[in-house]
């Protein structure tokens, strides 16, 4: 497909079939596409992060200097936040893959959509398809950049607007980028909310000067490129012997709101909730041998402290068949073991790392590896 620019518009050749006197005739016509806002826009999105951009695009249609003339929405399924928002705001909806696209849109926008767009679809948009990505590309390409930003302790992140390319995610040229300093003790949910808002405004700014930004786009380099794979339950196993207090803290802030941190006790899975951070422990029994996985109850704060590689971390809630406070878990399961008059540590008084927990570190290695 080719495009011809004339008199401030892009002209798309489009062939239409009609019937005349029983014969099928092909009539070629040009469908014009504006080279400046307001744009006819198709939006591809799924989750709450994407809703923030769609919300701002929707409200922009009624602004004095609007960037959007027409707005239609594509979702992968019927039960996602983007589709619900579109229905509530009477936006035209398309199922995936969309049809009836030719000549009807100037530009596409993809935000947290979850599927690669084929080249034949990308080529239907004269000004390409933009993507709002919550990282400073090329760092953290992939589906879970916010989680990996927290997990790896990044102090600086941001949002990037790129033009998408077929076949691979997050590799297109950069049109716009804005930095954001990650606040101390920020969770992935909190960071995602901030970046969703920041990304929505950066998208509007990009649409305002799209032709200029497209002309001055810059290719992503390979230096510093990292991959952010999806989070999964295998990441939640704590390896007490290997992970520091800071690493466990970052793991909890990255995935704890969606996937509880886990360990094992007497061969049974324990879920650890309500993380309180690093604890300062002074054991009354000096004969007790402390090793990673050792536990101690802090009665004054109702906290169960667990020894890790370089100190102690605390949790206030334990799930073992049912939800228990730290005191209930200690009194019901650990008290007799820890009161034994022996200098050694028995298995009954330990949280034990599962072998699968090493996958957390494999994920970390993946995240810090450059991508070819």
Supply the pTM of this predicted model: 0.85
CA angle 82, 87, 88 (to 5 degrees): 100
pLDDT in tens, 181-204: 999 999 999 999 999 999 999 999
Question: Can you give the pLDDT at residue 333?
Answer: 86
User: In the numeric block, which tokens belong to residue 190?
Assistant: 């909190």
Alpha-carbon separation of residue 19 from 14, 22, 24, 31 (angstroms):
17, 6, 5, 21
Nearest-angstrom CA–CA distance, 64 and 67 = 9
DSSP, residue by residue, 278-335:
EE----S-TTSPP-TTBEEEEGGGTEEEEE-SSSEEEEEEEEESEEEEHHHHIIIIIH
Nearest-angstrom CA–CA distance, 3 and 20 = 29
Mean local confidence (pLDDT), 215-223: 95
User: In the numeric block, which tokens belong to residue 204?
Assistant: 């509007």
* Contact of 197 with 129, CB cutoff 8 Å: no
Mean local confidence (pLDDT), 351-355: 86
Find the range with the poorest average confidence among 14-23, 38-47, 117-126: 14-23
- For all residues of the chain together, what is the average pLDDT? 86
Look at the alpha carbons of 52, 58, 62, 63 in this order and tell me if their dihedral is positive or negative. positive
Question: Can you give the pLDDT at residue 349?
Answer: 72
Question: Can you give the pLDDT at residue 340?
Answer: 52
- pLDDT > 70? residue 364: no
Q: Name 312's bridge partners.
A: 279, 307
pLDDT in tens, 57-108: 999 998 888 999 999 999 999 999 999 999 999 999 999 999 889 999 999 9
SS3 state at 118: coil
Find the range with the poorest average confidence among 51-55, 161-165, 345-349: 345-349
- pLDDT > 80? residue 4: no
User: In the numeric block, which tokens belong to residue 112?
Assistant: 């947290």
């Amino acid at each position: 497909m080719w495009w011809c620019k004339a008199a401030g518009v892009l002209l798309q050749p489009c062939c239409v079939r009609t019937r005349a006197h029983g014969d099928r005739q092909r009539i070629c016509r040009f469908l014009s596409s504006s080279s400046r806002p307001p744009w006819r826009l198709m939006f591809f999105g799924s989750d709450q992060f994407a809703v923030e951009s769609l919300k701002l695009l929707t409200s922009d249609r009624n602004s004095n200097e609007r960037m959007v003339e027409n707005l239609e929405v594509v979702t992968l399924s019927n039960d996602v936040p983007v589709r619900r928002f579109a229905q509530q705001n009477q936006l035209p909806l398309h199922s995936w893959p969309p049809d009836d696209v030719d000549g009807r849109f100037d530009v596409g926008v993809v935000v947290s959509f979850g599927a690669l767009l084929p080249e034949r679809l990308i080529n239907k948009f004269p000004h390409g398809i933009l993507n709002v990505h919550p990282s400073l590309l090329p760092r953290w390409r992939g589906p879970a950049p916010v989680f990996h930003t927290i997990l790896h302790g990044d102090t600086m992140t941001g949002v990037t607007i790129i033009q998408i390319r077929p076949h691979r995610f997050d590799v297109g040229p950069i049109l716009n980028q804005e930095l954001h300093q990650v606040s101390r003790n920020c969770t992935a949910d909190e960071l995602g909310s901030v970046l969703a808002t920041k990304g929505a405004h950066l998208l509007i700014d990009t649409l305002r000067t799209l032709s200029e930004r497209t002309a001055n786009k810059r290719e992503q380099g390979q230096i510093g490129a990292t991959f952010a794979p999806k989070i999964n339950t295998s990441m939640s196993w704590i390896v007490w012997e290997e992970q520091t207090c800071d690493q466990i803290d970052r793991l909890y802030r990255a995935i704890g709101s969606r996937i509880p941190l886990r360990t094992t006790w007497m061969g049974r899975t324990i879920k650890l909730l309500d993380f309180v951070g690093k604890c300062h422990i002074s054991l009354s029994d000096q004969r007790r041998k402390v090793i990673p996985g050792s536990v101690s109850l802090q009665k004054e704060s109702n906290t169960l402290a667990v020894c890790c590689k370089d100190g102690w971390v605390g949790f206030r809630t334990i799930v073992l068949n049912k939800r228990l406070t730290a005191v209930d878990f200690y009194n019901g399961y650990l008290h007799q073991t820890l009161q034994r008059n022996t200098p050694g540590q028995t298995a009954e008084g330990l949280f034990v790392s599962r072998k699968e927990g090493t996958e957390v570190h494999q994920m970390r290695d993946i995240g810090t590896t450059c991508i070819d």
